[in-house]
Amino acid sequence: MNESLGDLLHRSVEAVPKPHLDVGELVGRAERRQRQRRLVLVACTTVLVAAIVVGSLAFRGGQPRQLQPAPAPSPSVVHPPQRVARPLVYAAGRTVHVGEDTFEAGKNVLFVDATDDGVVFVTEDSDRWWYSDTLWFNDGSTTQAIGRVATEHIGLFDVYTANPGSLVVWAEGKRTNASPDQFVVYDTSRHKVMDRLPFTGLYNTVLHVDERHIFFNPDSGAPGCWMIDIHYCRDPYLLRYDVASGETRKIPQATFKGELRPVPRMLMLAEARGDTGTVFTARAMARFNQVGRLLVPVDSNGDPTVFRRPTGEPLALRVPAGYTSPGDEMSVVQWIDDDRLVLFPNEGGGDLPAQVGDLLVCKLPDGLCRVAVRASSTPYVAPG
């Protein structure tokens, strides 16, 4: 199962004015806070996950398509896709753990995440960390290199996975240049690149990936009113790329929220001032503080807040009797299925992606968490 959050982005751009963020801002700040020990960036837009998407215009054959407004939804019956339960995945050094199984990556693992078909992971193999590293896919029997991920800062990788689903999206990097020039869309069920989307600039940000779509924000230079923008706008838009048709459409923020509402493997952040909510998937790293046995949700400032499931019910989690979190906060790092999420209460560890801590699995709606993996002397790399 996060999620890459720039609110974004993976570079310090002090000359750029602070963007107005609506839903995207809340999402980005949450993810940014989770990664701030590892990043020195103005905004971590990918990690944010409430939303927003990659690429200003989708293209094939190097020719951009013209954007068309999305049509009004039809009342046709939609059958929900079959949802696949995923094993708990994490890495320790060069060893990738997939449920009860393991395999060797050959090099230190810097990033790991799951799809319905296996595990994607990034290995530390660049000559210089700020260039790029290899992205691999393991389907349980074989491992193949599928691309290179831009590595602009230690611990930050623009890799997004659908949960549930088979799509993986990443910012393609080069061995000699940290700046990506495209986002690659890959289907792990087909072992195939489905498309390449142009990377157009600072606010060109992936917000969310599902089984069929990529939602993203164009660069700030694109004319219009966008979810992530330099200037405030009341009714922002974003872009939705359809993998099957190859079309990119401009949709309002309200439509985006509506499409996310039926997705069970995410949490909504309910702001005290009554905002409609911010979406958190695994990459968004919704965070909690332990108070006794209860886990209290906290916002990007570390203040208590409320997380709700898409159905509207508030989330209430509690740890096993006698358990004490090793760190100040614990984060959601993976969804195993619709009713089980994974927490990583880590002890910190500086700028490295590997952290020392336990992995807890929490069952919903009961909310009771159990320790699934105990911390070891070898730090873990958790999903997202």
Tell me what the mean pLDDT of segment 206-211 comes to: 91
Note whether 246 and 60 are within 8 A (CB): yes
Higher-confidence residue: 69 or 260? Answer: 260
Contacts of residues 339-343 at CB distance under 8 Å and 24 or more positions apart, as own/partner, are 339/264, 339/363, 339/364, 339/365, 340/85, 340/364, 341/265, 342/88, 342/282, 342/372, 342/382, 342/383, 343/288, 343/295, 343/317, 343/369
- Report whether pLDDT(343) > 70: yes
Work out the pLDDT band at 128, boundaries 50, 70, 90.
low
Strands 267-270, 278-280: parallel, antiparallel or unpaired by DSSP? Answer: antiparallel
Say if strands 248-252 and 68-69 run parallel, antiparallel, or are unpaired. Answer: parallel
pLDDT band at 12 (very low <50, low <70, confident <90, very high): very low
User: Number of C-alpha atoms within 13 angstroms, CB side, residue 342?
Assistant: 28
Is the pLDDT at 71 greater than 60, yes or no?
Answer: no
Determine the average pLDDT of the residues in 250-263: 88
Given this model, what pLDDT does residue 77 score?
Answer: 36
Strands (DSSP E) contained in 159-259 are 159-161, 167-171, 182-187, 192-198, 205-209, 213-217, 228-229, 237-242, 248-252
**What per-residue confidence (pLDDT) applies to 130?**
62
Above pLDDT 70, what percent of the chain?
A: 69
User: With 80 as the cut, is the pLDDT of residue 260 above it?
Assistant: yes
Residue 232: half-sphere exposure toward Cβ, Cα within 13 Å: 1
Sign of the CA dihedral with 111 first, then 351, 173, and 208 last: positive
**pLDDT for res 176:** 62
Most confident of 55-64, 110-119, 227-236, 299-308: 110-119
Q: Which of 67-81, 113-127, 217-231, 256-270 shows the highest mean pLDDT? A: 113-127
What pTM did the predictor assign? 0.76
**DSSP class per residue in 14-62:** TTSPPPEESHHHHHHHHHHHHHTTT---S---TT--S---S-SS-EETT
How many angstroms separate the Cα of 188 from the Cα of each of 69, 133, 193? 30, 19, 9
